[in-house]
Structure 1
Amino acid sequence: MLNRRNFLKVAGTATAETLLGPKIYALAAVQTTPPAPITTNDHIQFALIGAGIQGQADTKVAVQVPGVKLVAVADCYDGRLERSKELWGNDIFTTRDYKEILARKDIDAVLIATPDHWHKQAAIDAMNAGKDVYCEKPMIHLYSDGPEIIETAHATNRIIQVGSQRVSSMIYAKAKELLASGAIGQLNMVTARWDRNSSLGAWNYTVPLDASTETCDWPRFQGSAPKIPFDADHFFQWRKWKAYGSGVAGDLFVHLFSGTHFITGASGPTRAMATGGLRFWKDGRDVPDVMLGLFDYREGFNLSLRVNFVDGGEESEGLIFTGSEGTMEIGGNAVSVSRTPLQKEPGYILGTFTEAMQKRIYETYREKYPVSHPSGAPSPGYEKYVAPAGYSDSYDHFTNFFSSVRTRRPVVEDSVFGFRAAGAALLSNLSMERGGVVKWDPDSMKLV
């Protein structure tokens, strides 16, 4: 597997070995320095807190990283603790109470994949216990969570990385390079979508047949949420309620913000407006299944986001960066650039002038723009850069995290980046609640 940050250099090549077609290139992972061997002292033992869909998926990737071992799992449902032993061995320590894990001296780091409303407390408790933290997105559930997590990371000198894997992706690294090189000219618009059309994609996750107050630690699960009688749907399909989750904004918009911020280098929007509603999945949930958001960036571009859980087709995700000289699109584990240089030559109403005036205008134009493309843009064309088969940005993201745990060097997605991405995403929920435009200061990370 590939480790972009520490050992591998992402490069576009056009050799006979990597050329896939006319102007379609393989992204080559070039080994620049041999990886250092993992010594006994460099081995990392970690624990999983929250063994649901994302927690189990994350852990399956994390344990592939050399020198890393899962030793403990905490979850509020007994069935998932049993499943963890099936997946990773009977010697795995399991508990409903994650504080039992934090009390262990043999655990170096924790992976937090709880419902959103537990992210802050679990992360803070872990850092105060001396553990490094990989926290799933969105980092926050409430705006007040962000400063508390950031301050605790600074006070404890703990590593915390947020789990939006695009920040470690070779595809996004190539897109960042292309944008910075002027491949599409001056950026003015980013359009992104993440549409779905399935019941499971709309968070109607399966509820086990043994769900009850005996197999589920309902009081612990509720945490800071409003107290209600046991409800299996709330427990296993928690993303459908704002008491535990953050809606499509916190689940999906945050990924699109993370990618946009990484590629552009922007800290976040200054204004936001969102609309949408509960159009189809009227099953008791209190969050929208369709959301559209518009965001202003002081860097000179606008961001348009869309999530639609009733799109009538297959799941679709992608980002399009529009510039003055072309467009750049990310989708299908590839990034492509389509160039149409900005034309400045005389046209349109020129033919309505006299022939003498037309001649004078052309002569003036040739003196002012002596090159074939006066804008200085690259020649028109299409290029596509494709990741190697089987490439996993999730693997790279975990490799980067565990490398930071070992070296104490900064992570690729720290708590400030995570707060800026999640804070921007949750502006959409706030805008819909208020019914208007909301303002955000991306530097101080505060609502205006």
Structure 2
Amino acid sequence: MSAAATQLPMTAFAAQGNGRTIGPNDTIQFALIGAGIQGQSDTKNAVQVPGVKLVAVADCYDGRLAHSKELWGNDIFTTRDYREILARKDIDAVIVATPDHWHKQASVDAMRAGKDVYCEKPMIHLYSDGPEMIETASKTGRILQVGSQRVSSVVYAKAKELLASGAIGQLNMVTARWDRNSSNGAWNYTVPLDASLETCDWPRFLGTAPKIPFNAERFFQWRKWHEYGSGVAGDLFVHLFSGTHFITGSHGPTRAMATGGLRFWKDGRDAPDVMLALFDYAEGFNLSLRVNFVDGGDESEGLLFTGSEGTIDIAGNSLTLSRVPRESEPGLSIGTYTDAMQKQITSEYRKKYPLPHPLTAPVAGSEKFVAPRGYNDGYNHFVNFFDSVRTRKNPVEDATFGFRAAGAALLSNLSLQRGAVVKWDPNAMKLV
């Protein structure tokens, strides 16, 4: 259990929030900071969890604040300035779904104000963000859960169980992809017709980013620029890292090299639309990642875990286990030689491999695991988050896990920028 879960002396099922105690039957009141596409999606999942209530929303665009009232009621408090939310004593937790360059500051401010935090992925925008977020969670005793929902998926839990049981033998490679072929999938989100300095709080949006004149595309399509987002690495690779690390139990890669570039969406953005990356893991396997924003087909996502005796193929809410056990007597090929030669070879093998030892080819097989109809790991992730808020137990994806996943993902950007292999210490969580 982490320091964040142990520093506060608490009774079971009771959490000391910002001035009030949350009992097992009390309603957890939360707020949304950043009501864009992901923030709204997160909140739609969160409000379905029994015993929670949305009471406030902060966003830099007036249209989203008005839409929040349409979605969740006119009694919702709305503001451009999230600090007004943090000052309220009746709010126990917040969802931080801002652009990446605001994740650290909004999360740190919230924890210092006594709020528990669900922070969207990637947890960091800069490597320097990670240690401060981890330290703040520890010092304040606040819950910080990162929003890569696969860590709460029953499909990924099944894959973790299968791998640990030796179902595919010794893991040697993980291959993952997330390809898209739509304008919206490539971050060309709709820019509202009323976008202006009057309806958008441009200075607040910029925050620590370079100060430039108002640009509606950068405000609403911020993922296309590294000043505010983290490219495909922070948007998509980080999900694949989270899943890989959860299933394998690894802390992360030790080396990375990436390539890619702007192959199609040459619209002023500086974030590549094609990226491929390779990673070495000290546990003895390699990870290969790919994102292509013009893949010529439907959106496609998946992870393939390859071992010495089989594979685990994850696609959406299902996985397929395929087993092809290795031959128990390497080099002994029945039926290849004359009878006399076969007897001699068999005799030599029997000295080395005493009976019982099969001489027939191993039997292959496969099985499929499918999550229940209507299953939603995003909802499950919020169930886990609010359970941590109540019990003060360590969240399923705490700040350390989130930093290791995001830190590994951002190695891709660094390698592409430098045109070289980059090294990472996954235990110390530092660039080497």
Q: What is the TM-score normalised by the length of structure 2?
A: 0.92
1:127 aligns with 2:116: no
Whole-angstrom distance in 2 between the partners of 1:245 and 1:358: 64
**Letter matched to residue 68 of structure 2:** S
What residue is the counterpart of 1:360 in the other structure?
A: 344
Q: Secondary structure at the match of 1:404?
A: helix
1:370 aligns with 2:358: no
Alignment of 1:15-54 (within 5 A): 42-54=26-38
1:217 aligns with 2:213: no
**Letter matched to residue 428 of structure 2:** S
Whole-angstrom distance in 2 between the partners of 1:185 and 1:40: 43
Among 346, 356, 362, which residue is 2:331 paired with? 346
Whole-angstrom distance in 2 between the partners of 1:378 and 1:358: 19
Give the total of aligned pairs: 409
Report how far residue 349 of structure 1 moved.
11
- CA offsets, 1:361-406, max 9 Å, x none? 122334516356589x984201101100000111110000000000
**Letter matched to residue 136 of structure 1:** E
1:115 aligns with 2:99: yes
Q: Secondary structure at the match of 1:321?
A: strand
Alignment of 1:170-209 (within 5 A): 170-209=154-193
Structure 2 vs 1, CA of residues 374 and 292 (structure 1 numbering), >3 Å: closer, same or farther?
farther
1:277 aligns with 2:284: no
Indicate if the aligned counterparts of 2:258 and 2:275 stay in contact, CA closer than 8 A.
Answer: yes
Report how far residue 340 of structure 1 moved.
0.9
1:98 aligns with 2:118: no
**Letter matched to residue 402 of structure 2:** G
Among 377, 380, 383, which residue is 1:399 paired with? 383
Structure 2 vs 1, CA of residues 217 and 346 (structure 1 numbering), >3 Å: closer, same or farther?
same
- CA offsets, 1:170-203, max 9 Å, x none? 0000000000011000000000000000000000
- CA offsets, 1:410-430, max 9 Å, x none? 100000000000000000000
Structure 2 vs 1, CA of residues 347 and 211 (structure 1 numbering), >3 Å: closer, same or farther?
same
1:324 aligns with 2:303: no
- Percent identity over the alignment? 78
The runs of 5 or more residues in structure 1 that have no matched partner are: 1-37
What residue is the counterpart of 1:10 in the other structure?
A: none
What residue is the counterpart of 2:372 in the other structure?
A: 388
Indicate if the aligned counterparts of 1:171 and 1:333 stay in contact, CA closer than 8 A.
Answer: yes
Q: Secondary structure at the match of 2:302?
A: strand
Alignment of 1:247-326 (within 5 A): 247-326=231-310
Structure 2 vs 1, CA of residues 371 and 396 (structure 1 numbering), >3 Å: closer, same or farther?
farther
Runs of at least 4 residues of structure 1 off by over 6 A? Answer: none
What residue is the counterpart of 1:83 in the other structure?
A: 67
**Letter matched to residue 278 of structure 1:** L
Indicate if the aligned counterparts of 1:273 and 1:437 stay in contact, CA closer than 8 A.
Answer: yes
- CA offsets, 1:127-152, max 9 Å, x none? 00000000000000000000000000
Indicate if the aligned counterparts of 1:128 and 1:152 stay in contact, CA closer than 8 A.
Answer: yes
What residue is the counterpart of 1:12 in the other structure?
A: none
- CA offsets, 1:35-68, max 9 Å, x none? xxx9675310000000000000000000000000
Indicate if the aligned counterparts of 1:196 and 1:310 stay in contact, CA closer than 8 A.
Answer: yes
Structure 2 vs 1, CA of residues 171 and 106 (structure 1 numbering), >3 Å: closer, same or farther?
same
Indicate if the aligned counterparts of 1:75 and 1:96 stay in contact, CA closer than 8 A.
Answer: yes
Indicate if the aligned counterparts of 1:339 and 1:378 stay in contact, CA closer than 8 A.
Answer: no
**Letter matched to residue 137 of structure 1:** K
Indicate if the aligned counterparts of 2:334 and 2:342 stay in contact, CA closer than 8 A.
Answer: no
The runs of 5 or more residues in structure 2 that have no matched partner are: 1-21
Among 141, 144, 151, which residue is 2:125 paired with? 141
Indicate if the aligned counterparts of 1:183 and 1:378 stay in contact, CA closer than 8 A.
Answer: no
